[in-house]
Copies of this chain bind each other. A is one copy, B any other.
């Protein structure tokens, strides 16, 4: 049963038999199985049809020796039920028509009832748990309030997050109200996911790294504290962001049993800067998977050497796996991680 509890043990700072590994966006476009299904269904259909979401969730688990499954979904989906006009374009990622601008827009945002509004997701979690039959644990997830707010305000991705920050600075009360509503939604969403089978949850605050330390403390941290205080603590909670070198201490203080870091800071330094009181997840640059095998192995072993066998490391990429990633390198990555704990390579 080693594979089944590696991930959860590491989340609890206990020592598993091998370093566990899973990959952000492990179910996705780099897999042929996924692309074949995607030819016949829109992204939205795949998320909202439990049978398809289950199938996609399981594809990487069948193909690779991964130590956790993560439910196939998207952080923006719950925003639809709050009133956002969400679209996924085939090329340019997500887009939100009529981005959030006014007091009326924020006031109009509805609370969600996950049992009703995210029934497709909760069913998919239950069905996936049944299919997995304890082979590996199942992770649920949500976007964090700030990252969700930035999509709502910008209407999509952004380079400078100018609208989001201007909103924050100019309409501070309204921004906090928006963050409160998003925190309520995230809490309801994640606790429902846990009730319906998620054995761990990850909060993606993907774009938080664009904020200064001062702005994080003032505009985001109180909401993140409330979020983590309200999350069902019977399962591990992973707190992830990109470009967070300057925020790691505050993110740890805001909450999370595991802090997810990107590739920028060496993992031992990142861990030290958090006092090693939480587990750490990371931190291979996803682009390294495009490098030749020998180079990739050296980079993977460098991370494991830096961790030095300490309890509480979950191997992952520093951000989602990229489309076009060679599948054989994903396999090599996972084998290299597992071999390191085993024969001492």
Residues of A within 8 A of B (CB): 157, 159-162, 165-166, 169-170, 209-215, 243, 245-246, 263-266, 269, 285-288, 290-292, 295, 302, 319, 322
Task: Please state if B302 and A266 are interface contacts (CB–CB under 8 Å).
Answer: no
Chain B nearest CB from A328 CB (Å) reads 15
Q: Given A245-B245, A245-B246, list of 18 further CB < 8 A pairs? A: A162-B287, A162-B290, A165-B285, A165-B290, A166-B287, A169-B288, A169-B290, A169-B295, A170-B290, A170-B295, A209-B264, A212-B264, A213-B264, A213-B266, A243-B243, A243-B264, A245-B264, A246-B264
Contact with A213, one of B246, B265, B288, B291 (Cβ below 8 angstroms)? B265
Q: How many copies does the complex hold?
A: 2
Q: Is the CB of A291 within 8 A of B245?
A: no
A169 to B326, CA, bound (A): 15
Instruction: From B170, B210, B292, give the contact of A169 (CB < 8 A).
Output: B292
Bound: A214/B306 CA distance, A: 12
A174 CB, min distance to chain B CBs, angstroms? 14
A318 — nearest CB in chain B belongs to which residue?
B212
- Nearest-neighbor residue (CB-CB) of A306 within chain B: B214
